[in-house]
Structure 1
Amino acid sequence: MQRASRMSLVDIVVNELHAEIKAGRWKVGDRIPPESELVNLLGVSRVSVRAGVQSLVHAGLLATRQGDGTFVVATDVTDVALRRRLEKARQEHVLQVRYALDVAAARLAALNRTERDLRGMTADLEARVEAFATRDVEAFVAADVAFHLKVAVATHNPVLSDLYGSLVGTLAEAMRRGSCLETEEAAGGEALHKELFRAIRDREVDKAVDTAFGLVDASIWEVETGSEHGRGNQDS
């Protein structure tokens, strides 16, 4: 990242941040550096950095999660358009697309994963278990989505990982609406996720594919259960 001059304005901050995203140094799902670090990197005031970040949030490239930081959610305006279309889509339609992507991702990840990919998945699985133990829904959703995105990245197919990245926001919202912690217990989510990881680690392609099917089935059950809870609350 180049250090901005004293004459820099907010648009230069925006350009620098966007350049990091377009260059792939900050990928979809990554948390960007904190405000204080960006101030030092760019040599501008906190006000300029904050305004630049907010500009990219409004553009749909970044999203701020209270207490957790700011994350990359899209790499360009095409991604933003797709993500906004997905936000309006029916959840069952999104899950049908996820069937295709998750199964393809599991298969290719089992073939192409690296040790670095496995380390990233391991960290997300550990965060997922910890969040479940503390009943922290937001942390659980973030760790779950991050794990599946890591699987997509492990395919080393940039088209597939970008497509999956565009689903992240919609998948996270579906989990929040559903009863994700209850589903974890009822559907054996922790065991299934560990099984998928082991299959990818051991390059067991068929097992990875079968487990991916099982996980998406659990997600569909979660959405249906969440809808039933919602109807029940409206009736009461």
Structure 2
Amino acid sequence: MQPVRRRSLITQVTNQLREEIRSGRWPVGSRIPTESELAEIAGTGRNTIREAVQALVHAGLLERRQGSGTFVLASSEVGGTLGKFFASAEERDVMELRQSLDVTAARLAAQRRTDDDIRDLRTLLETRTVTWDTQDLRDAVAADVALHRGIVVASHNHIYLEFYDSLLPAIEAIVYKHSLATGATFHAEHAELVEAIIVGDTRRAVRAAQYFFDELRSEFSDEESEPTAEQQPASRVQPS
């Protein structure tokens, strides 16, 4: 009977961790407490915590990052499954899907934002600006994506948010690549987007949101226009 009881305990702890994620107390993109901290909170052994966390890793809700800790990837098993699918998707496809979500979310947020949303967006914008100027690029990108997610939250469309959360790892990868290549900060453009939402100007919010994808599209176009060795004139191809 002991293995049965132990498995039941692991299930209980797994469900408790899952509830922390679903409730939003552990938001998507955040790092969860360490195994030692979780064991102290739950009053269980570290082996039980480790197995419970691993169950949620398999479900796609959590991700272990070597040297950094364990992070929330999705708020539900559905989001976790979508996240695994998006992880292997083409960058262009992810960008075009994100464009549809971000631009529409900006318009909806300008219509539906609450006082709490306005406060949160201002905080997220300030955090993004400070982080981008003072910390490493990975942290800066995470703060950038958190701001855009905050706009989706302000749209008050829960299906949009579920879908967006499943895209976050893929979005972060694209933003990191673009930022590494260009070094652009886009502080003024993000401030314009947030301000448009705060004042409730839907057209202005849509234009501001669309701007970022125009920039990304130009980068993709530049990459496609670069000739391969087979496409270059014979005089430019180096002899083998």
TM-score (norm 1): 0.81
Q: Which runs of 4+ in 1 moved over 3 A?
A: 5-9, 22-27, 29-37, 64-70, 181-184, 219-229
- Whether 1:140 aligns to 2:140 is yes
- Give the direction of change, closer, same or farther, for the CA distance of 1:60–1:179 in structure 2 (3 Å limit): same
Which residue in 1 is equivalent to 2:114? 114
After TM superposition, the structure 1 = structure 2 runs for residues 1-236 of structure 1, keeping only pairs within 5 Å, are 9-65=9-65, 69-134=69-134, 136-176=136-176, 178-181=177-180, 183=182, 185=184, 189-221=186-218
In the TM superposition, residue 80 of structure 1 has moved relative to its aligned partner by 1.9
- Give the direction of change, closer, same or farther, for the CA distance of 1:213–1:203 in structure 2 (3 Å limit): same
Rounded to whole Å, the distance in 2 between the matches of 1:54 and 1:6 is 15
* Structure 1 unpaired stretches of 5+: 232-236
Say which SS state the counterpart of residue 174 (structure 2) adopts.
Answer: helix
Could you tell me whether the CA contact under 8 Å between 1:183 and 1:189 is conserved in 2? Answer: no
In the TM superposition, residue 116 of structure 1 has moved relative to its aligned partner by 2.3
> Could you list the per-position Cα deviations for residues 11-66 of structure 1 after superposition, in whole angstroms to 9, with x for gaps in the alignment?
32112111233344444334434545433431112332233223312321012445
**Which amino acid in 2 is paired with 1:207?**
R
Paired positions, count: 226
Rounded to whole Å, the distance in 1 between the matches of 2:34 and 2:213 is 34
In the TM superposition, residue 115 of structure 1 has moved relative to its aligned partner by 2.6
Could you tell me whether the CA contact under 8 Å between 1:28 and 1:73 is conserved in 2? Answer: yes
Say which SS state the counterpart of residue 9 (structure 1) adopts.
Answer: helix
- Give the direction of change, closer, same or farther, for the CA distance of 1:114–1:69 in structure 2 (3 Å limit): farther
In the TM superposition, residue 214 of structure 1 has moved relative to its aligned partner by 0.2
**Which amino acid in 2 is paired with 1:70?**
T
**Which amino acid in 2 is paired with 1:155?**
S
Could you tell me whether the CA contact under 8 Å between 2:178 and 2:216 is conserved in 1? Answer: no
In the TM superposition, residue 215 of structure 1 has moved relative to its aligned partner by 1.6
Structure of greater Rg: 2
Which residue in 2 is equivalent to 1:234? none
**Which amino acid in 1 is paired with 2:126?**
E
In the TM superposition, residue 148 of structure 1 has moved relative to its aligned partner by 0.7
Could you tell me whether the CA contact under 8 Å between 1:34 and 1:69 is conserved in 2? Answer: yes
Could you tell me whether the CA contact under 8 Å between 1:29 and 1:149 is conserved in 2? Answer: no
- Give the direction of change, closer, same or farther, for the CA distance of 1:226–1:35 in structure 2 (3 Å limit): farther
**Which amino acid in 2 is paired with 1:47?**
N
Decide which moves more: 16-25 or 203-212. Answer: 16-25
Equivalent pairs: percent with the same residue? Answer: 40
Rounded to whole Å, the distance in 1 between the matches of 2:119 and 2:189 is 18
Decide which moves more: 31-40 or 194-203. Answer: 31-40
Rounded to whole Å, the distance in 1 between the matches of 2:125 and 2:10 is 38
Rounded to whole Å, the distance in 1 between the matches of 2:125 and 2:192 is 11
In the TM superposition, residue 110 of structure 1 has moved relative to its aligned partner by 0.9
> Could you list the per-position Cα deviations for residues 72-122 of structure 1 after superposition, in whole angstroms to 9, with x for gaps in the alignment?
211232222211221121111111111110111001111111232233323
In the TM superposition, residue 192 of structure 1 has moved relative to its aligned partner by 0.8
